[in-house]
Amino acid sequence: MGPRTAVGTVLQSDQAGGQAGRDRCAQLPSPGPGRPPELIMRIVLDYGDDVLRGIRFAAVPATVAFVALLAASCASTAPSRAGSGTRITVVAAENFWGSIAAQLGGARVQVHSLITSPNTDPHAYEPTPADARTIAEADFVIENGIGYDPWASKMLAADPTHGRVLDVGRLLGARDGGNPHFWYDPADVQRVIEAITAAYRQLDPADRAYFTARSSWFTSVALSRYHSLISTIRAEYAGTPVGASESIFSMLAPSLGLDLVTPSSFLTAISEGTDVSSADKQLIDSQITTHRIKIYIYNSQNTTPDVQVQLHECRNAGIPTATITETLDPAGDTYQAWQVSELLGIQRALRKATGH
């Protein structure tokens, strides 16, 4: 692969047709009553590139973007192009980005995540020589950036011959020292989805249509419950004051419409492992004992002594709690299954606290 390149743009899709694809499309059901769009998308993805280059539906619901996209792809009469036959090798520093990358790439990629254990602290991870070799051999590397995984940047800097790199922090224009937990911000996640898809299409032009379809499926189908829960919580509990143990939740709270009243200095200190001020601890104690907060959200992978004290105070005050984690937990979950589980926990805590 070529020298290191930052990825942050999305290529416009170009369509390719082919008689082989149209012949296979004739075997597929049309979307309609009893055949939800996600079923059609799953069939298309299972059939592969021939379908993606020749698919033509009898009826296309205007409200279903990814079905419309596939129908548009079928209308072209350009010559068919065979897939590359090889898989893009991808290395993700963390498994939350790895899960997304694997689902966007499907059968055309092979993804390896370096941090997979829920018990591993990404900030303090010490890479192995095997990790360095894996990165050196990758076609595409995804790092979180802005100091969250400095070990990844060091390995990349030590090997100028590695493949294309997506630095998420740089993509999003985040400043060094800022909140690095981008995977908890739905808008940031969408931009990363677009950047990964663009990278795949550049690395494997023959499979552009396949990657476009995977991206549409992931956004419209795989993440549908995730987006639905976010909208539901926002609609029902917007403005509800809540507390949290660290800055991970600062990225999600605005999308949920929740009023995070915990001092930002406390959230940052717990996230970065620095000393917490007495003033912050006293303020949070007061917020709990006076029921200024309705629920308390904490990172179960980082329950420091200060956080344990606050959890004890919440139990005594009858304030419901909900958990989030920094990386996939369990490790084998998909990104969306992990996030949905956490959102359901937050929703249950809010329902218990408010009575509705």
Task: Evaluate if residue 65 carries a pLDDT over 50.
Answer: no
Query: In the structure, what pLDDT confidence band is assigned to residue 193 with cuts at 50, 70 and 90?
Result: very high
Question: Rounded to an integer, what distance in angstroms lies between the CA atom of residue 318 and that of residue 297?
Answer: 14
pLDDT at residue number 181: 97
**Long-range pairs, 309-313, Cβ under 8 A, ≥24:** 310/243, 310/245, 310/284, 310/285, 313/285, 313/288, 313/289
Residue 84's pLDDT is: 58
Direct distance between the N- and C-terminal alpha carbons of the chain, in angstroms, rounded to an integer: 55
Band (147; pLDDT cuts 50, 70, 90) = very high
Cα separation, 57 vs 340, whole angstroms: 32
What's the predicted TM-score (pTM) here?
Answer: 0.79
For 72-81, 170-179, 315-324, which range has the lowest pLDDT when averaged over its residues? 72-81
pLDDT tens per residue across span 31-60: 444 444 444 444 444 444 433 433 333 333
Mean pLDDT of all residues belonging to the chain:
82
Output the six-digit token pair for 107. Answer: 């059968």
How do residues 271-323 score in pLDDT, each as one tens digit?
999 999 999 999 999 999 999 999 999 999 999 999 999 999 999 999 999 99
Q: Where in the chain is the domain with CATH 3.40.50.1980?
A: 88-222, 226-354
Query: CB–CB of 306/276 below 8 Å?
Result: yes
Confidence of residue 160 (pLDDT cuts 50, 70, 90): confident
Tens of pLDDT, residue by residue over 206-250, are 999 999 999 999 999 999 999 999 999 999 999 999 999 999 999
Which CATH number among 3.90.550.10, 3.90.1150.10, 3.40.50.1980, 3.30.70.120 corresponds to the domain 226-354?
3.40.50.1980
pLDDT at 204 over 80: yes
pLDDT at 99 over 50: yes
Q: Which CATH class is domain 88-222?
A: alpha beta
Give the chain's length.
Answer: 356
**pLDDT value at 27 more than 70:** no
Cβ neighbours around 350 below 10 Å, total: 21
Contact 340, 229 (CB under 8 A): yes
Q: Give the residue-averaged pLDDT of 91-96.
A: 97
Asked whether the beta carbons of 74 and 25 are under 8 A apart, the reply is yes
